[in-house]
Structure 1
């Protein structure tokens, strides 16, 4: 039984609980940070794609203005004449209040503080082609009574910058943590290798191959990675579940949550693979350095 590399690795892990705890803790921290940044980056990318597929312009009237049906029809006719729009919708102050109530129905204080007169009437226009948003937006800006015009490009540009920043920061931070974790795993297993120098020398005298000697240490590193990956995934999944209520209300209207099970299990697989690679290579390098010395 002791000749089984996996069994030998488990036996050695049990005999050094403090070193095991340190290795698993640093592995868990690194993989947890990686999973959080991955979830944020994936969520940002999904939101970005959502807005990219919604070619819509929102034009808001001045708060004190209540446009007449004739004024709204005139704006619609002018936009229809371009042949670029797909749909046109007028949102009155009362409609805006109802939308506000639907979004904040769980907070009575917010509902009492806002009346229809405090909200602006608006126009929602969608185009057949996202490239035509700028043309429609510029035309709406010239209409009397219009105070503000917003469309998806503003949101898309902001989200694109945000997503890019998350990726750069995430890759940098995760990369630094992976390097630190790899170094610590290398040191921990290196200490174990040094403590077993007599045993390893005996194996070499008996003709054991480098692979036979290295296998238990490699498995030890892999077990550190698998354990850390499982703990990190569980923690990130629980945090996501705990935050689900807030995120659903914050991302109202965007079909992003809950994430599909295949996505979460793919994340688990990625964490287990990354942890195994870090731990396995750390163990392999530690014992190979000793064998070459």
Structure 2
């Protein structure tokens, strides 16, 4: 037997109407579960953006004043060069370093704060502080390196990646463990509701299913409308969960910490939120369809 789109839509719609209360309960449960999972993904993306300054093993950032002179920039660079092993001018604590000029700092700023267009428009490259990013020879040397530059002319602030990132990640891990546990627990409930909903629908039609089997209907011919019903539950739950996640993305991101590594709130861009929504949609659709397939399986043994 071949499946027609009209048959699929009619059967799916009838099943949804027959078990409306259970369907609503399954969708609401799916919303709670996917919203918790989406919140974790939003927080992780926010931390990932804030950590953009610390890639490549960088653990110390020497931020200079926005109005720093070239002689002051050169002086800080000279100190770092002398502090590399073998140069003989310092304790040899610096493994490598590189300079981030105003243009590159502005590119980083736009990446980190792309979720706040007003802030991006208000500032330009001229307002960005250039910096030196430093990779220490040993992780324990970060404080010693930073102490050399705290009072150096032209230096605005020395930031330590280990302290800043660890504070954010510790809070994130605590929140994510709670959210993931909630998401898993509620997702199990959502799957159970979907399975029960599908089983109620197919139990009410068990004689019809038996007749269909006797006249040659394949298992997939019977199964697909019920899987489509579960898929609709999952997709609808994901879409309803995505709406608050999208509009509250700034609040969710900043929930990890009140300040970021550069003393500004955590952000995620609308594009990142949409990508998170697509993940939620795929998870919801897969859970709904697979749960339905499992629910139908035992009723096909005729």
Return the TM-score normalized by structure 2.
0.64
The structure-2 alpha-carbon separation of the partners of 1:163 and 1:50, relative to structure 1 and needing over 3 Å to count, comes to: farther
**2:41 pairs with 1:31:** no
The corresponding residue for 1:82 is 83
Equivalent of 2:10, from 1, 4, 7? 7
Cα distance in 2 for partners of 1:41, 1:245 equals 11
| C-alpha contact (below 8 Å) 1:48/1:160 kept by paired residues | no
Aligned counterparts, 1:258-273, within 5 A: 258-261=268-271, 263-273=272-282
Cα distance in 1 for partners of 2:79, 2:250 equals 48
The corresponding residue for 1:138 is 144
**2:226 pairs with 1:221:** no
The structure-2 alpha-carbon separation of the partners of 1:201 and 1:142, relative to structure 1 and needing over 3 Å to count, comes to: closer
Q: Which runs of 5+ in 1 are unaligned?
A: 59-74, 88-123
| C-alpha contact (below 8 Å) 1:27/1:225 kept by paired residues | yes
| C-alpha contact (below 8 Å) 2:59/2:135 kept by paired residues | no
Cα distance in 2 for partners of 1:40, 1:140 equals 29
| C-alpha contact (below 8 Å) 1:187/1:286 kept by paired residues | yes
Cα distance in 1 for partners of 2:255, 2:142 equals 34
The structure-2 alpha-carbon separation of the partners of 1:177 and 1:49, relative to structure 1 and needing over 3 Å to count, comes to: farther
3-state SS in 2 of match to 1:56: strand
1:240 deviates by: 2.1
Equivalent of 2:210, from 201, 226, 236? 201
Equivalent of 2:267, from 254, 257, 260? 257
Aligned counterparts, 1:1-293, within 5 A: 4-51=7-54, 53=58, 55-56=60-61, 81-82=82-83, 84=94, 126=132, 128-131=134-137, 134-135=140-141, 137-138=143-144, 151-240=160-249, 250-251=259-260, 257-261=267-271, 263-292=272-301
- Residues 87-131 of structure 1: CA deviation (Å, up to 9, x unaligned): 8xxxxxxxxxxxxxxxxxxxxxxxxxxxxxxxxxxxx99454244
The structure-2 alpha-carbon separation of the partners of 1:168 and 1:242, relative to structure 1 and needing over 3 Å to count, comes to: closer
1:141 deviates by: 5.7
| C-alpha contact (below 8 Å) 1:228/1:275 kept by paired residues | yes
Return the TM-score normalized by structure 1.
0.65
| C-alpha contact (below 8 Å) 1:219/1:280 kept by paired residues | yes
Q: For the pair shown, which has the larger CA radius of gyration, 1 or 2?
A: 1
The structure-2 alpha-carbon separation of the partners of 1:6 and 1:173, relative to structure 1 and needing over 3 Å to count, comes to: same
